[in-house]
Chains A and B, each alone.
Chain A
Amino acid sequence: MTAGSEKASLLWVRWSSRLRSPVFWQGLLGIATFFAVWQIARWIGWMTIIPSPVELAAGIPEEIERAGYWQNWVDSGRRVFTGFGIAALLAIVIGVAMGMSNRLRALIFPLFEIMRPIPPLAWLPLAILFWPSSELTMIFLTFIGAFFPILLNILVGIEKIDPRYKQAALSLGSSRGAMFRRVMMPGALPSLFTGLTIAIGITWEVVIAAEMASGTNGLGYMTWDSYMTHSMVGIVLGMLSIGLAGMASSWVMRLVGEKAMPWRRR
């Protein structure tokens, strides 16, 4: 069997077992029940402000077809991933340096401890004043949101590497470089991915809030704009879109993590 077909058959096995597992159907049932309760609540006359699922199903295609809907995804996604990418890069560089050098860690850590509890949105006024465009302001906020969780998780990851592995590597004759590449990096990866997954969630929260406050496009702006124009379907569609975007991002993160850490695959 070739590697390709083996992979394909593995994927098939995975999916067919997922379809057969009750957990999958239970999840589906939960979602269906949620919408059913919502629909029934509307039928008996509660929550009249909010459109019912049936109305949503009827109204959403039109909203989606409206010009700019998909562009909103692109705009928000671009902000999230730019901020997140810069944060990840910087946090990894600084985190690894701090993890390898105790002196550097002692120098920087207290400063970060003060800055870390400041919520990303508390930076908004300063960011608006500082950055020349609202685009940069929003990217900066997502950066702030992602940076600290990633950094902290890298530090924890490096710290938590079992000294046995370092000793084993030393006794196998590893140089400093080999120690870093072969022990520190793979050892800290699981924790790094925990950080990345948390961070991507936070960036979506932050970008939505930032768009509502100072944006002119994006999913957050779309939701806010729908409120301003009293489009109930638009509001709910915006929320659903944000939920889906966050979910998809976490899912991508997990997939990348599995690829990067084949030893943790079940």
Chain B
Amino acid sequence: MLTKDQRRTILGSNRHLNRMPTGVIDAIAEQAEVLDFAKGAVIFNRKDSSVKCYILVSGHVSHPEVQAAEEQFSIARETTTQGQLFGWAAAVDGLPERIISARCDVPTRVLAFDGKWFQDLCRSHGEPGLRALQDLVRSYAGHERKIGGRHGWLSLRNVQKVYDPLGKATVAVDGCSIEIRPGEFCAIVGPSGCGKSTLLNAVAGFDTITDGEILLDGECINSTKIMPKPGPDRIVVFQHGALFPWATVLENMIRGPIVQGKMTKAQATKRARELLAQVGLSTIEDRYPAGMSSGMCRRVEIVRALMNDPRVILLDEPFRGLDALTKTVVHNALLDMYEMNRKTVLFITHDLEEAIYLADRVLVMTTRPGSIKQTIFVDLPRPRPTELLGKEEFLQLKDEAIAAVHEEAVKAFEAGEREMA
């Protein structure tokens, strides 16, 4: 067996963990269990559900899925150094399954600890713990992109936006850091005027930021140094819809790929018809937006976004102004499309219930200045049927979320009142 000091030394030799507060390492040393694996044993497989993280004590673990090592993202083909962390997926918010497997080439000893517990541990250590966890997640997201070949890792780092039109600086967003993994459905909820749309505009490239940077798949798309440029890798579905009223549904669909030169007109038309057929909208391809219901327009607009094969879909309160019945229909259409094609989604809304129903993770944003105050993990399985809205587990999650958000909302409201007075 290993003594506590030995464990602490091993953990301390990990370059991620040694940056964390000492309390974290102590707690892991206390809690982690020592596991021994024989030669040839499988510690975990690809697509296993991710529960535990591992620190190598001795031995040799290989990851056959890794093609090439990427030092900057802590990606290795094998884990051979004492103190090295593997099985990251468990340490990452809401990632349900492993992306790579781990096999023992020789008899191997590891320290294992629960991933969820580890996340909570980090968060309980305030700002330093949170930052360390974020670093870890950041490394991981890059890792996931490289290994899984998946696009759409969105990384907002310390983003700030100050509007200063008349010398009266208004801080819309400050110190906002968000990591969104490829394929994750992430919602940002907040009262109107809290800066959620500012954030979305910054990601979309419609607006500049005054500090920090935004990266998409490790590439800088917005910072103080560059002029942001909107592009087809980040398609926005707007609050009131932006289907071109002068073009038919089909023309709206095919325009993007054609102007980008990605497809010929015939190819685009074929693809558009396929997509429309998949969502049951084949009959409306020759209609103009003015002749359709707003629910239908929103559905077409979401399909139009998919048509461009973006890395991230940005939804700016797309369901605002729809009646409740239409809303559920469009929600389900959106969920279906998400199942069909797991793109990264950044979803902005002021409706908490909608956010919980749709997203994997709900970030609560508060106003003055806008920043992320709370994260709610939505641990509901997909696909999510409409009946879920009435189920106990959903209601419970919603109640918890409302309680959590309410406190912040009251605080923000009072702060606002004070400012007014």
* Interface set of A (CB-CB < 8 Å, partner B): 162, 164-165, 167-175, 178, 182-183, 186-187, 189, 261-264
Provide the residues of chain B in CB contact with A174, threshold 8 Å. Answer: 259
Q: Which of B230, B234, B246, B248 has the most CB of A within 10 A?
A: B246
Known: A182-B244, A262-B288. A167 touches B230 (CB 8 A): yes
A171–B235 contact, CB under 8 A?
yes
Q: Which of A164, A175, A183, A261 has the most CB of B within 10 A?
A: A164
| Cα distance, A262 to B289, chains bound together (Å) | 12
Q: Given A164, A183, A263, which contacts B288 in the complex, CB threshold below 8 Å?
A: A263
B238 at the interface (CB under 8 A from A): yes
Known: A171-B204, A263-B288. A165 touches B232 (CB 8 A): no
Main secondary structure of the interface of B (DSSP, over half): loop
Known: A187-B246, A263-B290, A264-B290. A167 touches B204 (CB 8 A): yes
B12 at the interface (CB under 8 A from A): no
| Cα distance, A173 to B260, chains bound together (Å) | 6
Q: Across the interface, name the chain B residue whose C-beta is closest to A183.
A: B244
| Cα distance, A121 to B132, chains bound together (Å) | 78
B255-297 contacts to A, CB under 8 A, are 255-256, 259-260, 288-290
27 pairs, CB–CB < 8 Å, chain A vs chain B: A165-B244, A167-B206, A167-B230, A168-B236, A168-B242, A168-B244, A171-B230, A171-B235, A172-B255, A172-B259, A172-B260, A173-B232, A173-B256, A174-B259, A178-B259, A182-B247, A182-B259, A186-B244, A186-B246, A186-B247, A187-B246, A189-B246, A261-B246, A263-B247, A263-B288, A263-B289, A263-B290
Provide the residues of chain B in CB contact with A187, threshold 8 Å. Answer: 246
* Interface set of B (CB-CB < 8 Å, partner A): 204-206, 230-232, 234-236, 238, 240, 242, 244-248, 255-256, 259-260, 288-290, 308
A171–B236 contact, CB under 8 A?
yes
Provide the residues of chain A in CB contact with B205, threshold 8 Å. Answer: 170-171
Provide the residues of chain B in CB contact with A263, threshold 8 Å. Answer: 245-248, 288-290
Tell me, rounded to whole Å, the shortest Cβ–Cβ distance linking B235 to chain A.
Answer: 6
A164–B238 contact, CB under 8 A?
yes
Tell me, rounded to whole Å, the shortest Cβ–Cβ distance linking B181 to chain A.
Answer: 22
Q: Across the interface, name the chain B residue whose C-beta is closest to A185.
A: B246
A173–B288 contact, CB under 8 A?
no
| Cα distance, A182 to B243, chains bound together (Å) | 12
Provide the residues of chain B in CB contact with A262, threshold 8 Å. Answer: 288
Tell me, rounded to whole Å, the shortest Cβ–Cβ distance linking A166 to chain B.
Answer: 9
| Cα distance, A192 to B206, chains bound together (Å) | 28
Tell me, rounded to whole Å, the shortest Cβ–Cβ distance linking A183 to chain B.
Answer: 7
Provide the residues of chain A in CB contact with B230, threshold 8 Å. Answer: 167, 170-171
Q: Given B236, B255, B256, B288, which contacts A167 in the complex, CB threshold below 8 Å?
A: B236
| Cα distance, A247 to B353, chains bound together (Å) | 57
Provide the residues of chain A in CB contact with B242, threshold 8 Å. Answer: 162, 164-165, 167-168
Provide the residues of chain B in CB contact with A264, threshold 8 Å. Answer: 290
A171–B232 contact, CB under 8 A?
yes
Provide the residues of chain A in CB contact with B255, threshold 8 Å. Answer: 172, 182
Provide the residues of chain B in CB contact with A173, threshold 8 Å. Answer: 231-232, 256, 259-260, 308
| Cα distance, A262 to B204, chains bound together (Å) | 31
B260–A171 contact, CB under 8 A?
no
Query: A-B pairs with the 8 shortest C-beta distances?
Result: A186-B246, A172-B256, A168-B242, A173-B260, A263-B288, A173-B232, A170-B230, A171-B230
| Cα distance, A173 to B235, chains bound together (Å) | 10
Provide the residues of chain A in CB contact with B234, threshold 8 Å. Answer: 171
| Cα distance, A264 to B289, chains bound together (Å) | 10
| Cα distance, A261 to B232, chains bound together (Å) | 27
Tell me, rounded to whole Å, the shortest Cβ–Cβ distance linking A157 to chain B.
Answer: 12
